[in-house]
Amino acid sequence: MDHAFESKPRVFVVDDEPEIAKLLVVMLQLNLMDAVPYFDSAEALAAAKKTPPDYLISDIVMPQMSGIELALAFARDVPSCKVLLFSGQVDAAEQVQRANEGGHNFQLLQKPVHPKLLVEALVSL
């Protein structure tokens, strides 16, 4: 496979649905990425402060801390991390647009996410 990565990028995948997070992690690992699943936003943020990932992939609709709030926290605490958000919600694009109007550059993919599109989106960040 042809990849634009020079070394194995570290990716945090955050989704409150463990099956989805685990599936995305497997897809990313098959594409030569060091992917780690998280089912809790606060746990992912704490881990990122210790070992910053290259990428964050997060669902938007989650309890406690939404994916947008998590992305904003990553932008503040781990500014080198690039963010890709995904959601099956119709208002997700508006939420991401509002965050981007605040000076961010978060990308959005709609669920369900095809593995090839997910990898292409990461490579293009």
Q: Determine the Cα–Cα distance for residues 24 and 8; give it in Å rounded to an integer.
A: 16
Per-domain boundaries in the chain: 10-124
Question: What pLDDT score was predicted for residue 1?
Answer: 43
Question: What pLDDT score was predicted for residue 62?
Answer: 93
| CATH number, domain 10-124, options 2.60.40.290, 3.40.50.12140, 3.40.50.2300, 3.40.190.10 | 3.40.50.2300
Which residues lie below 8 Å from residue 41, measured CB to CB, with a gap of 6+?
14, 58, 62, 64, 65, 66, 67, 69, 70
Tokens of 103: 């000076």
Which residues lie below 8 Å from residue 114, measured CB to CB, with a gap of 6+?
none
CA 66: distance to chain centroid?
A: 12
Residue 4's pLDDT band (boundaries 50, 70, 90)? Answer: low
This prediction's pTM: 0.90
* Among candidate residues 60, 69, 62, 23, the one with its CA nearest the CA of residue 39: 62
